[in-house]
Amino acid sequence: MIAVSKGQPVEAIVSLLDAGQRDFGENRVSEALLKWPALKERYPDIRLHLIGQLQTNKVKDALSLFDVIHTVDRESLADVLVKTRSRECGTALKFFIQVNTGEESQKGGVRPDALPGLMQYTQPLLSITGLMCIPPAGDPPAPHFALLRTLAEKYNLSHLSMGMSGDYETALRLGATHVRIGTAIFGERNPKAEI
Ligand SMILES: *Cc1c(COP(=O)(O)O)cnc(C)c1O
């Protein structure tokens, strides 16, 4: 379980850390940079997951802070990740490809029909270990989770990042290995704390 701490105060994060939680997710690099470097010093075994869109100008910061990046969705981003990682001295990062299962124009992720090309391009470059999706709001999530699982099986990927507070039970039933839970753990977010 990834505890999604965007928009949450540091005190709430610390109580979860003290209870033993070690996987946390943030969707903005800039917000994560304000909170996590100090926490990582205090709790060195934290695993930090980037679950939001990654702009190429934030790649250097993202690689310095995050352990797993769930949102690889285009060749140009893979190129910058590889180039930056080799320059910054290669840490063992894991990557998921985000699939836009609802084919929504405003959402990140590669469309399912473009996934084969992106897999072929990225697999020799980055260690792609799984797929991630965010079903469209208002759609029943199960068909999206089932599609993601089918795609992951096709490429022998063992990890499925799917399911949030409202639909994690469905996601688990359909094989999720990483659920991303925010409000169900922390309560409502403060939108002003999201940068
Ligand atoms: C915010 C967010 C979550 C957590 O959402 P909740 O509904 O608060 O559980 C999960 N995944 C992504 C990509 C998010 O941006």
CA of 171 to the centre of ligand 1 (A): 13
What pLDDT is attached to residue 89?
60
What value does the mean pLDDT of the chain take?
94
Strands (E), 99-193: 128-132, 159-161, 180-181
Measured from the CB, is residue 1 less than 6 Å from ligand 1? no
The pair of three-digit structure tokens given for residue 77, joined into one six-digit string: 């981003």
Q: Reply yes or no on whether the pLDDT at 8 is more than 90.
A: yes
Q: Which atom of ligand 1 is nearest to the CA of 185?
A: 9
What pLDDT is attached to residue 123?
93
Give the span between the Cα atoms of 79 and 83, in whole angstroms. 6
What pTM does this model have? 0.95
Ligand 1, atom 5, lies closest to the CA of 182
Strands (E), the chain: 2-4, 23-26, 47-50, 68-72, 94-98, 128-132, 159-161, 180-181
Give the span between the Cα atoms of 32 and 36, in whole angstroms. 6
Give the span between the Cα atoms of 1 and 79, in whole angstroms. 29
Q: Which atom of ligand 1 is nearest to the CA of 2?
A: 10
> What's the sign of the alpha-carbon dihedral 148, 145, 46, 33?
positive
What pLDDT is attached to residue 192?
65
48 close to 75: Cβ distance less than 8 angstroms = no
Q: Which amino acid is at 130?
A: G
Label residues 17-47 b or e (16+ Cβ within 10 Å = b).
beeebebbbbbbbebbbebbeebeeebeebe
Q: How many CA atoms does the CB half-sphere of 39 hold within 13 Å?
A: 25
CA of 182 to the centre of ligand 1 (A): 6
The pair of three-digit structure tokens given for residue 115, joined into one six-digit string: 């996934």
Q: What angle do CA 29, 33, 38 make, to 5 degrees?
A: 150
Measured from the CB, is residue 14 less than 6 Å from ligand 1? no
Give the span between the Cα atoms of 194 and 56, in whole angstroms. 20
Q: Write out pLDDT tens, residues 114-168.
A: 999 999 999 999 999 999 999 999 999 999 999 999 999 999 999 999 999 999 9
Measured from the CB, is residue 183 less than 6 Å from ligand 1? yes
Measured from the CB, is residue 80 less than 6 Å from ligand 1? no
CA of 109 to the centre of ligand 1 (A): 15
Give the span between the Cα atoms of 117 and 182, in whole angstroms. 32
